[in-house]
Copies of this chain bind each other. A is one copy, B any other.
Amino acid sequence: MSVTPVDYEPTERTVPSRSRQRARYDRETVHSILDQTYLCHLGFVRDGAPVVLPTLYGRVGETLYVHGSTGSRPLLAAGRQDPGLPVCLTVTHVDGLVLAKSAFHHSINYRSVVVHGTAYQVTDEAECRTALDALVNNVVPGRAADSRPANAKELAATAVIRLDLNEVSAKIRTGGPNDDPEDLDLPFWSGVVPVAPAYGTPVPAAGLAPGIAVPDYLSAL
């Protein structure tokens, strides 16, 4: 077993019950996984049952921000509850399909981060603005400065919740299939099909003035 740095102290629920060699607890790995996408799945408990919703997030240092309408149920719940709303926020990249000789050893190459903690509604206006910029820039780096900032009415309609990175783990699978030695001579193809998100040619909004060029930061996606 290789030794990896530990920035986030492992807890009972961040140590996986299996494939422990895939777990990581260092800040560099966790931040890199969080910063390479913008979609998370946010879990919370409502009336005793789990709810998992896809939503956007942004990171500022050791804090993640999620936003929504002030009319949305989880954000209202976070705002009303004291001491906050227990959540689990999960981010997953699929990097490859792993095809083994046996059905059993089929797998996925992936990088994931799971954050456990308590979400609190942000009430400070400056922190809300910073969070909203981070959310927009997490989808398209550089975009926040190239759009109209939220006005007072929009800020009032937007709830922002924060979740600090304390109880955090990353999990990574890389490499080819782990076939059993006795299967290696079977006649099936085995290997990895790489997967990554692909960005198409930007489609201008209906009525966009023809003089407005596609910005450079979109070419960098």
Contacts and interface: CB of A to CB of B under 8 A. Distances in A.
A110 B41 contact: no
Q: Count copies of this chain in the complex.
A: 2
Contacts of A132: 103
B197 A184 contact: no
Nearest to A115: B52
A73 to B, nearest CB: 5
A122 interface: no
Contact of A50 (B44, B187, B195): B44
A92 B92 CA distance: 11
A99 interface: yes
Interface in A127-172: 132-133, 136, 139-140, 143-144, 146-151, 154, 158
B52 A114 contact: yes
Given A49-B88, A150-B103, A154-B102, A196 B205 contact: no
Interface string A184-220: 1111111111111111111111111100111100100
A51 B45 contact: no
Nearest to A190: B205
Contacts of A221: 193
Given A140-B99, A191-B202, A202-B193, A52 B43 contact: yes
B140 A90 contact: no
Contacts of A187: 212
Contacts of A208: 189-191
A85 B78 CA distance: 25
Interface of A: 13, 17-18, 38-39, 41-46, 48-54, 56, 69, 71-73, 86-90, 92, 94, 97, 99-104, 106, 108, 110, 112, 114, 116, 132-133, 136, 139-140, 143-144, 146-151, 154, 158, 176-177, 179, 183-209, 212-215, 218, 221
8 contacts: A13-B49, A39-B92, A43-B51, A43-B88, A104-B150, A179-B205, A191-B202, A193-B199
